[in-house]
Amino acid sequence: MSRTDVSEVIIYDNLSRSNYNFFIGHSFENSKKVRFERGELLDSRHLKKVLSGVDVVYHLAAKVTTPFANTDPHIYEQVNHWGTAELIYAIEESEVKKFIYTSSTSVYGSSKESVHEEAHPNPKTFYGISKLRAEDHVSRLSNLMDTFVFRCGNVYGYSRSMRFDAVINKFVFEAHFNKRITIHGDGRQHRSFIHINHASKALETVLDADIVPGVYNLVDRDLEVLDIVDALKQMIPELEFLFVNQHLKLRQLKVKPNNLIKDQLGISSSQTLAEELTEFRSKLSF
């Protein structure tokens, strides 16, 4: 299917985040092509009804509560694991031809060396475990249709429905308004990141790109927390930063960006981190 062939887009969501920004402030060019359907992942009957006539499914839904990825295992299991299972069961009985799932680099757990897609997953949090179990269900579709699993790094950057619990977004907000940020641990912990523009571009392009189905790391940058602080200091020289439990060395996770898939999807970055954060900051008020 080509992007030009899309006749309708259905957004299926339960609005559990109480974020209604999608519905305000703008109208779609072809509003008759976009339909919102309120529903639950665990409502198999409703899922099957909505999937009727659908050719491509993007599964973006998940319970995420950064940095509390190790609290309330029940909700992660219900939404991320069993919710995905219900969706896969419904798709197996449908006429869907392509499936795209946004997983997470958290399935790798921790690593002092950069891991690639062939590395053995070893999640360390309830969130990571639930995403890996969801991948197991998704893998059943690979013999039935083109199936893509994107293991995304921490998503950052301005969007209409952004999260402020993710580290870069949180830092930019606090740095801009408070001129002070709080760092947990010694700041040497590595994490992987993907800019929201690149994540959305990848999801758009994969619809008709000539890419072999499979599991891919969707990562822009592999950074220490202190690298983010350095970029913010370039923007705001007077920035203060406070360490909490500085004696603690927190879990490391280095993920190797897949440059081949980035080139194929046209998402290679031309900006430095400082330039991206400066652009991000320009979207904030006051």
User: Is beta strand 111-115 parallel, antiparallel or unpaired with respect to 221-224?
Assistant: unpaired
Phi-psi label, residue 266: left if phi above 0, alpha if psi -120 to 50, beta otherwise: left
Question: Using an 8 Å Cβ cutoff, are 181 and 175 in contact?
Answer: yes
Angle 223-262-69 (CA atoms, 0-180°, nearest 5)? 45
Residue 76 burial (C-beta neighbours within 10 Å; 0-12, 13-18, 19+): buried
Sign, CA torsion 217/48/141/89:
positive
What lies within 8 Å, CB to CB, of 235 at 6+ separation is 175, 274, 277, 278, 281
pLDDT at 1: 65
Dihedral angle of Cα 88, 90, 95, 101, to the nearest 10 degrees: -30
Q: Helices 126-138 and 83-92 sit at what angle, rounded to 10 degrees?
A: 10
Whole-number Å distance between alpha carbons of 51 and 130:
24
Report pLDDT digits (tens) over 96-130.
999 999 999 999 999 989 999 999 999 999 999 99
Q: Note the pLDDT of residue 25.
A: 76
Query: Tens digits of per-residue pLDDT, 156-203?
Result: 999 988 888 889 999 999 999 999 999 998 999 999 999 999 999 999
152 has which bridge partners? 104, 218
Q: What average pLDDT does this structure show over 4-16? A: 90
Domains of the chain by start residue, with CATH = 3-159+193-221+256-268 (3.40.50.720)
Q: Any idea what DSSP says for residue 231?
A: H
Distance CA 135, CA 132 (A): 5
Q: Averaged over 16-27, what is the pLDDT?
A: 81
Q: How many CB atoms within 10 Å of residue 257?
A: 21
* pTM (two decimals): 0.92
